[in-house]
Amino acid sequence: MTSVRDASKKIFVWSYGRGTIQYDIICILILAFIFLVPRGCFNGAGSRISPEDSETRSENFRPPERP
């Protein structure tokens, strides 16, 4: 049981050295999460902006005039 706790502590604290197989596996898992999770999973309940709204905002945006 202590080996599981030690391994999870090392992963959480990221105490593996570069070039070790554990470090490589953790990096691969992070990259897989970033690239394989659908974009829709990152839209939280607080984000209510639709793509149409963002396009409308960018069309109406005018940079400030220079004196």
Mean pLDDT confidence for 39-59: 61
Task: Please give the model's pTM, rounded to 2 decimal places.
Answer: 0.47
What is the pLDDT at residue 32? 94
What is the pLDDT at residue 57? 57
Alpha helices (runs of H) in the chain, residue ranges in sequence order: 2-13, 21-36, 51-60
Instruction: Give the C-alpha separation, 10 to 14, whole Å.
Output: 5
Mean pLDDT confidence for 23-50: 79
What is the pLDDT at residue 28? 92
Instruction: Give the C-alpha separation, 1 to 46, whole Å.
Output: 40
What does the DSSP 8-state code read for residue 46? T
